[in-house]
């Protein structure tokens, strides 16, 4: 089973700043099957990025995803107040298929 | 409006059973793979199970295999999760989620989520 490790655990930044979140896998992940989610307190997760770099419907272009192999990144170019939340990466693969999540990165207001 | 609405959660004793439902609307349910994902209090997300669009293929996380069963009724646009032999560690919010697709190809990601239903396993 592929293990995803997200870093940092907590990221403290101010509105307007740039945020860079990392997701690393112990073994290579198909870029086609790496996704990022945002979860605000008390809400369900929301898909931000799929296929490592494709934005989901309605997601602002300040969110971008990149990476391949074992290293993936979610970048928020200019933080808005509503962006402070927990972010999860997730991958799909294997036989039988498995869907695994990273442990999450909390983005908090500095 | 695309929507998933879960129901059936509650408090149950260890070893007992519970059945969750997820009502879908606003999209073609019968052509979509569907999932259950759970989140223990204060913890991260854990994928639980997936079912193919027609119910012919099902896969489970090791933590629930042999105890949980995913199913669907396409005539009623409803997804189910039968949970047997419940344990304290099954306590979580259970979300149903839709598989995302582009040109019929699955994303391996979940593009629509319900609001979740809480399951508490406690004596």
d(CA B59, CA A84): 34
Say what the pLDDT of residue B102 is: 81
Please give, rounded to a whole number of angstroms, the shortest distance from the CA of B122 to a CA of chain A. Answer: 22
Contact flag B108-A57 (C-beta cutoff 8 Å): no
Residue A102: pLDDT over 90? yes
In chain B, pLDDT over 90 holds for what percent of residues?
Answer: 93
Mutation choice for A interface testing from B37, B45, B63, B105 by most A CBs within 10 A: B45
What DSSP designation does B55 have? S
**pLDDT the model gives residue A30:** 87
Find out whether B35 and B96 touch, Cβ atoms under 8 Å. Answer: yes
pLDDT band for position A4 (cuts 50, 70, 90): very high
Compute chain B's Rg from CA coordinates.
14
Residues of B within 8 A of A93 (CB-CB) are 108
CB atoms within 10 A of CB A29: 25
Low-confidence ranges of chain B (pLDDT < 50): none
Reported confidence tier of residue A94, pLDDT bands at 50, 70, 90: confident
Question: Count of residues for chain B?
Answer: 123
pLDDT at position B101:
87
What pLDDT does B79 receive? 98
Do the chains contact at B108 and A103, CB–CB below 8 Å? no
Contact between B92 and B38 (Cβ < 8 Å): yes
Express each pLDDT in B60-82 by its tens digit: 999 999 999 999 999 999 999 99
């Amino acid at each position: 089973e592929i293990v995803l490790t997200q870093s940092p655990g907590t990221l403290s930044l101010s509105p307007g700043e740039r945020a860079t979140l990392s997701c690393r896998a112990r073994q290579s992940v198909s870029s086609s099957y790496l996704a990022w989610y945002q979860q605000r307190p008390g809400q369900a997760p929301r898909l931000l990025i799929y296929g490592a770099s494709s934005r989901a419907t309605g997601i602002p272009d300040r969110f971008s995803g990149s990476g391949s192999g074992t290293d993936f990144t979610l970048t928020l170019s200019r933080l808005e107040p509503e962006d402070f939340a927990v972010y999860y990466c997730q991958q799909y693969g294997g036989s039988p298929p498995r869907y695994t999540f990273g442990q999450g990165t909390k983005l908090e207001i500095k | 409006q695309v929507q998933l609405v879960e129901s059936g959660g509650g408090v149950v004793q260890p070893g007992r059973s519970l059945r969750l439902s997820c009502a879908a609307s606003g999209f073609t349910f019968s052509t979509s793979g569907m999932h259950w994902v759970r989140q223990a209090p204060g913890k991260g997300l854990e994928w639980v199970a997936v079912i193919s669009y027609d119910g012919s293929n099902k896969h489970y996380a090791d933590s629930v295999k042999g105890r949980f069963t995913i199913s669907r009724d396409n005539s009623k646009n409803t997804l189910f999760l039968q949970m047997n032999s419940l344990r304290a560690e099954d306590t979580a919010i259970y979300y149903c989620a839709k598989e995302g697709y582009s040109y019929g190809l699955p994303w391996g990601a979940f593009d629509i989520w319900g609001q979740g239903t809480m399951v508490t396993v406690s004596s």
